[in-house]
Amino acid sequence: MRRSSFVAPILLIAVGALLLARTLYPGLQLMDYVARYWPVILIGWGLLRIVEILTWSAAAKPLPMRGLSGGEWVLIVFLCLFGLSLHTVRGVANWFPEHIQVDGLDFFDGGERYEYPVSGEKASSHAPHVMLGAGAVGLMNGGAPPQKLTSCSWMRSLSGSAV
């Protein structure tokens, strides 16, 4: 008879509780927590399995040849890939290199970063007019000073000089 394990149901309950917390509290930054603390799942999984095996050993039951099956290892690999990807995407990774260069080609970075100022100016019309926006109405006064916009943007260049 195949021996059942209580690790999988407990992990399923934990995942369900996390998703339920997300639906009940939409403001909860769940993905940030998952991106930072996903290795706790591995630790909990391993500890639960150790407790399970020690229980079998104390009850003089035959022990499994492998503490974790092949399918579980595959699931662990996928979990690690997901966790590391999420950790990198959320911007909290400190291991991912900024530059990976092979024969002068820069991978994962796309060249050097150059910042340049952006500015614009638009003259106001002399006649007063009404502006309709999304859910708001505004009255623009005529003869107002021209509107100026200054900002900063950036681009990447492979050739080593910004165009």
Q: Which residues bind other proteins (CB under 8 A)?
A: 36-47, 49-50, 53-54, 57, 62-68, 72-73, 76, 80, 83, 87, 92, 94-95
Task: Give the residue with the Cβ less far from other proteins, 3 or 122.
Answer: 3
Q: How far apart are CA 63 and CA 54, in angstroms?
A: 9
Terminal C-alpha separation, the chain? 71
* Closest distance to other proteins from the beta carbon of 94 (Å): 7
E strand or H helix at 109: none
Kindly tell me the sign of the dihedral angle through the C-alpha atoms of 60, 11, 95, 29: negative
* Closest distance to other proteins from the beta carbon of 44 (Å): 8
* Closest distance to other proteins from the beta carbon of 47 (Å): 6
Task: Give the residue with the Cβ less far from other proteins, 67 or 110.
Answer: 67
**How many residues would you count in the chain?**
163
Strand partners of residue 139: 130
Task: Give the residue with the Cβ less far from other proteins, 43 or 140.
Answer: 43
